[in-house]
């Protein structure tokens, strides 16, 4: 039997090792220095596409430009396409040149607001230009509530004083300091409010004429004022909602009428109830959070008029707050939805104040929804966190306040 030459085997093994190392180094040199920069064209692929019936992915930068590097290391950035009219993609959100407003609200006459810098009141007309509503100046207004037509506003000041200003008559009337949390009736001829005193027996939910006359108590609040949201319904039947805890997971929302009507309540699955009426008062949009939503707010809409109260309680499948939405008509809703939310955001809404939003359009009858716009600046970046959302009277524009800067931006719908 022939003898195995051990020295020969060692030489063969060493040679194989050297060859393998050379092949590996050659491959690495190719990858680093000679591999083509551009991959072969495989056809267009929409990496942001969302499967039908699902929400877009979160924690992804959908605004990033396409970055390529040439062989000399020069960086070339190609910005994404920006639409000037909302079609579902990146849409330019133009700044409205009105400074940093307070109390912006869509009225039947246009977008009204208060300018803290000048102490004056303006209306943004259909031509996009600010119109001064009065020469009178009010400094340090802390909060204000507009009538539906924008002809009257209730001004609240840091010292607790309240003033009603009539922009048509150019006159003011002082309201009692005890009045808080105002809401106008749809016709603007009546206000609802909380009347709060040191004595719990004198704390009331009340209504009155806008000048404070003809006031009357609707319901005794006592120690339950924090459970009541003053919010006149467009139908005029309801002046407030009241929350009662049923158990650890559910609350019943009751409706307070002007004449002690025995309205049915609505059972909501969660806490943090935040409502908004539809334009005719037939439905109520609301958001709540619970364990199943990881304590993030989720939107629902429910019938809320007469004998239909509580029917068709529809989960809209969007995690946002009701005050980040606006109705364009009785069946169409626009909402700003954060790209992502942290666990427990419903308990502490402020954690989402810097999170960019996308704008959705929702059919309130069917729950069908679609992305209308990803609002971006001129560089294609979405840095906008929506505070409140408004739609113009002609429905051509969506206006929103940016929580980051305080500015008002607008998106063209058509």
Residue matched to tokens 């340090």: 140
> Could you write out the DSSP letters of every residue in 133-177?
--S---TT--EEEE-TTSSEEEEE-TTS-EEEEETTTTEEEEEPT
Residue range 127-141: mean pLDDT, rounded: 94
Tell which residue, 273, 269, 217, has the closest CA to residue 242. 273
pLDDT at residue 39 in the model: 35
Residue range 189-217: mean pLDDT, rounded: 97
Tell which residue, 90, 18, 6, has the closest CA to residue 411. 90
DSSP state of 293: T
H or E stretch covering 12: helix 6-29
* Predicted confidence (pLDDT) per residue in 171-190, tens digit: 999 999 999 999 999 999 99
Residue range 105-122: mean pLDDT, rounded: 96
Residue 268 has pLDDT above 90, yes or no: yes
d(Cα 400, Cα 387) in Å, to the nearest integer? Answer: 7
Residue 10, SS3 per DSSP: helix
**Strands lying side by side in the sheet with 143-146:** 143-146, 152-156, 162-166, 171-175
pLDDT at residue 127 in the model: 78
User: For residue 298, what are the CA distances in angstroms to 192, 268, 272, 290, 319?
Assistant: 28, 11, 10, 9, 4
Residue 75 has pLDDT above 70, yes or no: no
CATH fold of 90-412: Methylamine Dehydrogenase; Chain H (2.130.10)
Residue range 378-391: mean pLDDT, rounded: 96
Residue 376 has pLDDT above 80, yes or no: yes
Helices and strands, number each (H, E), in the chain: 1, 31
Q: What percent of the chain has pLDDT over 70?
A: 81
pLDDT at residue 78 in the model: 59
Residue range 67-89: mean pLDDT, rounded: 73
User: Which residue would you say has higher pLDDT here, 43 or 320?
Assistant: 320
Residue range 235-249: mean pLDDT, rounded: 94
Q: Which residues contact 151 (CB under 8 A, 6 or more apart)?
A: 109, 166, 167, 168, 188
Residue range 44-49: mean pLDDT, rounded: 32
Residue 19 has pLDDT above 70, yes or no: no
Mean per-residue pLDDT of the chain: 86
Residue range 32-40: mean pLDDT, rounded: 36
pLDDT at residue 74 in the model: 67
Residue range 200-211: mean pLDDT, rounded: 97
- Sequence ranges of the domains in the chain: 90-412
User: Which residue would you say has higher pLDDT here, 236 or 12?
Assistant: 236
d(Cα 277, Cα 233) in Å, to the nearest integer? Answer: 6
Q: What percent of the chain has pLDDT over 90?
A: 77
Residue range 331-359: mean pLDDT, rounded: 97
**Strands lying side by side in the sheet with 408-412:** 94-96, 408-412, 397-402, 386-391
pLDDT at residue 106 in the model: 93
User: Which residue would you say has higher pLDDT here, 34 or 246?
Assistant: 246
Phi, psi of 19 (to 5 degrees): -60, -45
Residue 61 has pLDDT above 90, yes or no: no
pLDDT at residue 79 in the model: 60
Q: What is the longest distance spanned by two Cα atoms in the chain?
A: 122
**Do residues 247 and 272 lie in contact, with contact meaning Cβ atoms separated by under 8 Å?**
no
Residue range 38-61: mean pLDDT, rounded: 36
């Amino acid at each position: 039997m022939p003898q195995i030459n051990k020295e020969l085997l060692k030489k063969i093994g060493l040679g194989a090792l050297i060859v393998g190392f050379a092949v590996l180094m050659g491959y690495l040199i190719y990858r680093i220095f000679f591999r083509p920069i551009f991959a072969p064209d495989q056809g267009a692929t929409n990496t942001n596409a969302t499967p039908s019936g699902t929400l877009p992915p979160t924690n992804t930068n959908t605004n990033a430009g396409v970055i390529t590097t040439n062989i000399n290391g020069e960086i070339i950035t190609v910005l994404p396409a920006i639409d000037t009219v909302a079609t579902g993609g990146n849409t330019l959100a133009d700044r409205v040149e009105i400074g940093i407003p307070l109390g912006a609200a869509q009225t039947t006459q246009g977008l009204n607001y208060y300018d803290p810098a000048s102490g004056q009141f303006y209306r943004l007309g259909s031509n996009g230009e600010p119109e001064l509503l009065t020469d009178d100046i009010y400094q340090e207004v802390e909060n204000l509530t507009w009538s539906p037509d924008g002809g009257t506003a209730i001004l609240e000041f840091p010292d607790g004083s309240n003033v009603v200003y009539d922009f048509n008559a150019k006159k003011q009337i002082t309201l009692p300091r005890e009045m808080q949390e105002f809401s106008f009736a749809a016709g603007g001829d009546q206000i609802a409010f909380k009347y709060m005193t040191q004595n719990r027996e004198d704390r009331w939910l009340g209504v009155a004429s806008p000048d404070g006359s003809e006031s009357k108590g609707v319901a005794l609040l006592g120690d339950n004022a924090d459970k009541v949201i003053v919010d006149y319904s467009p139908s005029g039947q309801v002046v407030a909602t009241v929350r009662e805890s049923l158990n650890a997971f559910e609350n019943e929302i009751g409706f307070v009428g002007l004449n002690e009507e025995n309205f049915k309540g609505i059972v909501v699955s969660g806490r943090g109830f935040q409502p908004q009426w539809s334009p005719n008062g037939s439905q109520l949009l609301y958001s709540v959070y619970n364990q199943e939503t990881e304590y993030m707010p989720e939107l629902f809409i429910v019938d809320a008029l007469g004998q239909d109260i509580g029917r068709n309680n529809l989960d809209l499948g969007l995690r946002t707050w009701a005050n980040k939405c606006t109705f364009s008509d009785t069946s169409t809703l626009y909402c700003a939805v954060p790209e992502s939310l942290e666990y427990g955001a419903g308990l502490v809404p402020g954690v989402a104040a810097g999170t960019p939003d996308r704008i959705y359009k929702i059919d309130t009858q069917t729950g069908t929804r679609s992305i209308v716009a990803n609002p971006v600046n001129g560089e294609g970046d979405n840095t906008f966190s929506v505070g409140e959302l408004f739609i113009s009277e002609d429905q051509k524009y969506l206006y929103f306040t940016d929580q980051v800067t305080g500015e008002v931006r607008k998106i063209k719908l058509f």
